[in-house]
Copies of this chain bind each other. A is one copy, B any other.
């Protein structure tokens, strides 16, 4: 046995499941999703490479559990922005979008795991509920801004808002929108706001129309 930490680690870890989730997050951030290995997680947690199997069926199951945690944080990031914003429905929707972008740029590895990877299994009920909660936060903000409870009628507005924030997040994270990295943080936030205001639903109408 190669007990790295000095020798007196007990045979039973105690909270390996949780330790593995933390290790997986580190591994993901350092190696990226394409360099992620289950053995690396085990080593970080100080256990043998086969130990994770007793807590997660396979590597994808570990990443599925991690994705569920990440969705909760996404929801929290949106709620944090929402709490700081004015109560006005439009401001609230913009805040939700900014929270989405906050999370995506603060946790690019997790964001990629959640949205640009086949690893997480969305049929898993825990992940499914976490993802649905995040989605609902967005939907409710759109409906409020639109002044309607009809989710179907709001569908194009939901799509517009989500596509815009998601597109910004993806492009910024992959470094393709270099204009943003060139600006200071304040200016960047201001541009984000302006972009998000562009996809606000226009109360009363169905799908909002452009000016001209």
Contacts and interface: CB of A to CB of B under 8 A. Distances in A.
Contact of A202 (B176, B191, B211): B211
Interface string A156-182: 101110111111101100101101100
Contact of A167 (B118, B170, B179, B197): B170
Contacts of A177: 159, 162-163
Contacts of A118: 32, 34
Given A115-B174, A174-B115, A179 B198 contact: no
Given A115-B174, A194-B207, A207-B194, A179 B159 contact: yes
B174 A159 contact: no
A202 to B, nearest CB: 6
Contacts of A117: 34
Contacts of A115: 170, 174, 176
Contacts of A148: none
Contacts of A208: 198, 211
A114 to B, nearest CB: 10
A29 interface: no
Given A112-B116, A115-B174, A179 B191 contact: no
A163 B159 contact: no
A195 interface: yes
Interface string A197-210: 11110100001111
A162 B171 contact: yes
A136 to B, nearest CB: 14
A94 to B, nearest CB: 10
Contacts of A155: 179
Given A155-B179, A166-B167, 5 more contacts: A32-B118, A115-B170, A165-B167, A167-B168, A211-B211
